């Protein structure tokens, strides 16, 4: 019985010590980000983080069973974008550390993608094209995703309400 208690205590200490700490300010976030983008594995239990798009494709091929890959391959790009984003896309965001930073998210930032949802969509669509042996057409896909994000942001601004408005007079000097 004492061995089980000791093992339980050890596991709790290990989980607490390996847990991600939430940064208190921008400096702490940047320090954690710089560490995370160099790591091959994140989280507990460890999750492998691909270094680039090719490595992501190889990793997805290992993770997905053949029938799941086949179903994914047979979907249209629109279905990939709209129907499975909230399952597969969220899995990519969470497991590959897009919010806190990872070596894959850092690679994607280098391509001009900054929002985690845009990163996941890019990975999903390029993976779909790769499975279908289509040209990845990265430049046009990046333009499409960034334009879509820009349009969404502009629409959100136009729908917003002004909560308070005030004017001040300058003091004469």
CA proximity to 160, closest of 152, 169, 149: 152
For the whole model, what pTM was predicted?
Answer: 0.80
Residues 73, 68: Cα–Cα separation, whole Å? 8
Q: What is the pLDDT of residue 32?
A: 92
Q: Which residues of 119-138 are buried (b: 16+ CB within 10 A; e: fewer)?
A: bbbbbbbbbbbbbeeeebee
Tell me the longest C-alpha to C-alpha distance in the chain: 81
Q: Is the pLDDT of residue 18 over 50?
A: no
Residue 69 has pLDDT above 60, yes or no: yes
pLDDT in tens, 24-34: 888 999 999 99
145 secondary structure, DSSP code: H
pLDDT tens track for 95-135 = 999 999 999 999 999 999 999 999 999 999 999 999 999 99
> In the chain, count of helices (H) and strands (E)?
9, 2
pLDDT at 12 over 80: no
**What contacts 98, CB < 8 A, 6 or more positions away?**
92, 104, 105, 108, 116, 119, 120
For 63-72, 145-154, 161-170, which range has the lowest pLDDT when averaged over its residues?
161-170
42 DSSP β-pair partners? 47
Residue 119 or residue 171, greater confidence: 119
């Amino acid at each position: 019985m004492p061995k089980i208690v000791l093992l339980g205590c050890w596991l709790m200490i290990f989980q607490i010590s390996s847990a991600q700490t939430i940064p208190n300010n921008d400096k702490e976030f940047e320090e954690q980000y710089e560490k995370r983008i160099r790591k091959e594995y994140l989280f507990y239990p460890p999750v492998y983080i691909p270094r680039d798009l090719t490595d992501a494709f190889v990793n997805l091929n290992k993770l997905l069973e053949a029938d799941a890959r086949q179903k994914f391959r047979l979907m249209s790009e629109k279905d990939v974008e709209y129907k499975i984003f909230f399952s597969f896309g969220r899995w990519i965001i969470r497991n590959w550390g897009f919010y806190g930073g990872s070596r894959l998210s850092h690679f994607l930032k280098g391509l001009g993608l900054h929002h985690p949802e845009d990163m996941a969509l890019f990975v999903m669509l390029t993976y779909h094209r790769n499975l279908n042996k289509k040209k990845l057409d990265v430049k046009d896909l990046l333009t499409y995703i960034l334009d879509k994000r820009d349009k969404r942001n502009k629409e959100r601004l136009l729908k917003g309400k002004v909560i308070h408005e005030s004017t001040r007079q300058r003091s004469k000097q």
